Amino acid sequence: MSMTGERRGVWRRRGVESLEEPLPGVPRQPRTAADGGATPQGPAARADTPAWADAPAGADAPARTDAPPGVGAPAWTDAPAQADAPAIPIQVNALQALARQVFGFRLAMIALAAPAALLNANPGLGARLVGAAVVATFMGSYVLFRDWERFGPLLLRHPTLLAADTLFGSLLLISAGPDTTLAYVSVCTPLLAGIVYGWRGAAVFASLQSLIFLLVYATTQNPATTVAERLLLPGLCVIAGAVGSALRNLMFRFGAATQALTEVQARLAVTEAIAEERARLAREMHDSVAKTLFGVALAADGLAGSADRMNPTLVKERAELVARSARRAAAESRELLADLRREADSTDVLRELAARTRDFGTRTNLAATYHSTGEEETPLIPPAVARQLLTIATEAMENAHRHAAPTRVDVSAGVHGDLLCMTVYDDGRGLPQGTTLEQLRSTGHFGLVGMVERAASLGARIRIGRGTHPKGTEVRLELPLTTPAPGSA
């Protein structure tokens, strides 16, 4: 089948959407040479989620998992899964949240102290200046509290905006007096400076605000105010600036530690993936090629030791048995080598899937049929991706043959829009009601778990259950494809 003009040689993975049960303890796997190109994302886990869930595709979408509803359940079960890591670093999110909380506190204090400031202002120009200062400080705090993501970077680039806010606040402080809640508004200024600008900004604005407090006390000339009381608010400004700077440093240190931990986990995941792939190849070598070659050796030894005493017809039959076993060993070796190949040419995965279905039916004597669906022309897929798809389909068929006792296996695949859809259905006994992947893993049944992990490594979604059938098990995989712009092929 030829490629469509719109998809010629173009391939892209989307957000991981695994339609299996969330896999507790299974990290998102980075791409490795061992697993055929796994992305750094895999199925997220929630240990307390027994059902298998679904989520929409997208680069930042949460991992999607669906589990079979069990015998008698009519539909798929959806449950939330853990989301992907946020695109914005965690320390920036935390600092934004702190800054918004500070501005929210400022709003409350300004609202409480504004009437006192307006009542104490001199009529005429003084009242108008105080009113303008109330509006400016309140609206500035409200805008930054309401839409920090939009206006916060402006405050970060222009510290003079916070300085202007400080001057407006000092005008209100002079009018209302330092004994009102406006004093707390002023103390918030060095706290914000420490959070937004670091220790240098905290030092500058703490000094500026402390000087303003001292000037306000000097202008009020209240004889009942002691020296300790006059130094209390300036001291609080210094402390607030230090606290803001410390919180900023703490958040960035925490973010750096989190990033380092994530990198270590990714490296460990790569190492584990390589080790698992080596173990898988070792098992397949032992269970397939090694056993077949051992049988060839035994048959050849027996033929060599008794050929001169055997009937020529029997010798011919034994020789044909050795030849068939040798061809089977060669085929098994080619299949293992195909798993390790990383050629640049794309693969017609649908044609290969049809061939594997025929081979499965011949080998197991089951009624295995393949149906092509969707568009007549399908895009060629990179070999690393095709290998994972074919492995999932093969494992689904083998899993049905080993555990479900089916009478037939139906395989269908095709392109529907921007999705490559593949379905493997068997009419066997199906999964027990309430089966979860954790239960399968704990009892040593890793076939379904492996299919989910492979699908997640491709950014595909996979559903395992009865679907619309009255019995049996259906494995349905949907792999997103991309459509390039015209002329980009």
Instruction: Return the CATH number at 478.
Output: 3.30.565.10
Distance CA 378, CA 372 (A): 11
- Quick one: 380 and 481 in the same domain? yes
The total number of structural domains in the chain stands at 3
Which residue would you say has higher pLDDT here, 32 or 216? 216
- Quick one: 301 and 386 in the same domain? no
Is the residue at 76 inside a domain?
Answer: yes
- Quick one: 49 and 119 in the same domain? no
> How large is the average pLDDT for residues 49-67?
36
Distance CA 45, CA 438 (A): 11
- Quick one: 68 and 96 in the same domain? no
Confidence bin at 225 (pLDDT 50/70/90): low
- Quick one: 205 and 161 in the same domain? yes
- Quick one: 107 and 5 in the same domain? no
- Quick one: 151 and 3 in the same domain? no
Which of these three, 234, 259, 284, is where a domain ends? 259
Which of these three, 201, 230, 259, is where a domain ends? 259
- Quick one: 438 and 355 in the same domain? yes
Distance CA 230, CA 370 (A): 87
Of 18-27, 165-174, 189-198, 294-303, minimum mean pLDDT range: 18-27
- Quick one: 143 and 58 in the same domain? no
Distance CA 395, CA 402 (A): 10
> How large is the average pLDDT for residues 61-90?
36
Q: Is the pLDDT of residue 479 over 50?
A: yes
- What pLDDT shows up at residue 303? 74
Distance, first Cα to last Cα, the chain: 18
> How large is the average pLDDT for residues 277-291?
67
Instruction: Tell me the two tokens of residue 59.
Output: 């680069």
- Quick one: 141 and 214 in the same domain? yes
Most confident of 74-88, 382-396, 435-449: 382-396
Q: Is the pLDDT of residue 27 over 70?
A: no
> Which are the contacts of 359, defined by CB distance < 8 A and separation ≥ 6?
none
From residue 198, how far is each of 178, 348, 411 by CA, in Å? 27, 57, 61
- Quick one: 358 and 237 in the same domain? no
Q: Is the pLDDT of residue 424 over 80?
A: yes
Is the residue at 264 inside a domain?
Answer: no
- Quick one: 95 and 176 in the same domain? yes
Tell me the residue range of the domain where 377 lies. 1-85+346-489
